[in-house]
A and B are shown apart, each in its own frame.
Chain A
Amino acid sequence: MNCEHSRNQISPWLDGELNDSESAALLQHLDQCPECREFVDELRGVNGLLRSGADQNLQQAHLLAERVITQLPPSVNRIEHAAPAPSRTREFLFLLAGLAAGFLCAWGLFSNDSGSNSSDDPTIASNETEANNADPKLNGTDSPIALPQAVARLVRVIGNVSVGSQVDVPLTRVSQANPVSCVAESVVQTGPDSRCELLLASGSVVRLNSGTRLLVRSPRQVEIHEGQLFCSAPEGTELNVVAVKIDDAMSKVPTFTCPSNGSMWTSNSPRGVQVSSASGEIAVQTSDSELKLKTGQSVEVIEGEIQPVSNVTADPLLATRWIHPLLIQKGAQDPELKSRVDAMLAKIGQSKLSSLYESEIRSLGEYCVLPLIRYLESPQSQTEPARRQTAARIIADLATTWAIGDLIVLLESEDGVVRERVAVALQRLTSENHGTSPEQWQESRPSETLELWKAWWSENLHHYPSLDELNQQEIKENTL
């Protein structure tokens, strides 16, 4: 292949339009040609810019669609009926009608999602039957077509995430600002460095890592076509995950059942399918065999055969750390985030990989601070000096101003290292030390300085928004 031919192939190659032999020939040329490699880098840069511009355009398009929809007739009318002037009530009805149509880009309606239990959530169907019998108030009682209802909502979006309401339609890119609902048979796809979280109508949660393609079959069944997912099922329900390759015979397709209160993660790659139980007993089923995975166990399914995992299974916490950016979006008070920080902290000192756990905690930024403060306040920390001091060191580096009140309380700690680290954090955040340096805090616990800190805090706390206030502010901004 010469450079001219290569240049013609690079653009379709980046778009995934070349077949295997064409790609191989191009890669061979690129291997030997620095100029063409440079061109690939340039084109990638342009594509990146185009994608970021496209995100903005898509938000514009979503808003445009809703504006148009508010100008359509309000119910099941013949098209000869003149469109009445838009009204707030009608706009709301149409938002709901749009939801029944199954692919709702709903600003505001979904922005305060709790991400926990959807059983009282009126915006999504609770099971397949309901999905096919949408509320007549939403569709119009004399509707000639039964529009399907949403079976899942895309509640968190990071990066490039696309959704299609069926397999063979072009996918539409979505953003956190414009979360969408999905009807049965919707496709959700994540690009590179992207993540998303789906809340199914059954209450199950499915999180997708980058490069994942998922088909939402129903509130209780999803299909992973490629990539990696983490899922959990709430009390009283199960979730079936089917790992499908498009060219696979159906008989070889493995099904994993995540039990009530269980969680698991699975990856589907050309090499095979791997599944691990994070908690609960996961049922693994193929056409030939069936087995149960206990917490922490993993298996591979290759060509329909269940096999032990050839590599030593990574720790579940590290293997699923890609979900952390999604948990961070829920805020510092998220209980799942807290339990993961606690679990990672518990590994420090117990594992050869201690530094990995510490760096993983640090990678959460200020979001790890509240769980660490709660740990330092717990009786458990009194018996774990090394872990306690690690927590204090991380807090000293990462705490932000909303933690000042809690940090002042921690100055009363029995542990000199904890007091010293907390004093460092307070000095960094307030530029005050009230006459006692961090080193002095390590040596003693001067009660008069502690009183000065408390007095200072009661005078100044209104300058520093609390975590709740910051959360409220964020919700308000997102809603606007």
Chain B
Amino acid sequence: MLTDESLVRSAKQGEAAAYAELVRRWSAPILAVCRARVRCRHAAEDLAQDTLLRGWESIRSLQDDRKIGAWLRGIAQRVCLDWLKRHQNQQVPFSVVGETAKAGDGFADDSISPAEQLFKRSEEERLQAEIDRLPEDERETLLLYATGDWTYQQLADLLDVAVGTINARLARARERICRHLRIVRETKS
């Protein structure tokens, strides 16, 4: 069975099929990273695609063949940062987009209370909006964790942090979401 490391070695030799396999393995985590950075589903797809194609173009610059995931994540962060800089003045808060906007199409708006913001949305949309309101590191960890059956250790290796940090981020993120959803429920009732 081919490991990421051996696929990277083959990809460095120009073997597109090997890189295709890496794309299949890493598309979901990279999409999650982009989604966490830009908080816009459609933009995240384009940015993840851009990231994976840039990965192919520069695969030979990867130093440690075992760390393709962390390396692609680094590219994704840069790609997203560029995009955010370009779109800094174009962000549209939810309150302007209106009630018909779907979660993830716009950006979370910090100017109104969570209860007001979430009141009229479906549970799924509320959850999406709550994820958007999380601090970026918690959001990224939570979205990454949801892409597969990661252990905390694997996620810690990918994000280059301690296992305890993963634990704390996931616990805090879920508690925040719980708390806000409870506020919404109580406000409604």
Contact = CB atoms under 8 A, between A and B. Distances in A.
B159 interface: no
Nearest to A172: B148
Interface stretch (B77-85, B87-95, B107-115, B177-185): B177-185
Contacts of A104: 24
Interface string A116-139: 000000000000000000000001
B186 interface: no
B28 A53 contact: no
A322 interface: no
B14 A65 contact: no
A50 B146 contact: yes
Given A68-B23, A165-B25, A173 B178 contact: no
Given A12-B171, A64-B48, A68-B23, A50 B127 contact: yes
Contacts of A219: none
Contact of B124 (A47, A53, A61): A53
Interface stretch (A71-79, A230-238, A301-309, A323-331): A71-79
B1 A101 contact: no
Given A57-B31, A58-B147, A147-B17, A43 B154 contact: no
B28 A57 contact: yes
Interface residues of A, number: 69
B119 interface: no
B170 A11 contact: yes
Interface of B: 1-4, 6, 10-21, 23-25, 27-28, 31-32, 35, 41, 45, 48-49, 52-53, 56-57, 59-60, 123-124, 127-128, 142-143, 145-152, 154, 167, 170-171, 174-175, 177-178, 181-182
The 10 closest A-B pairs by CB, nearest first: A61-B28, A11-B171, A65-B27, A54-B146, A101-B21, A78-B14, A171-B149, A166-B1, A170-B148, A185-B1
Given A65-B27, A97-B20, 16 more contacts: A7-B175, A17-B151, A46-B178, A46-B181, A47-B174, A51-B146, A53-B124, A61-B27, A61-B28, A74-B16, A76-B15, A79-B59, A101-B17, A140-B17, A147-B18, A186-B1
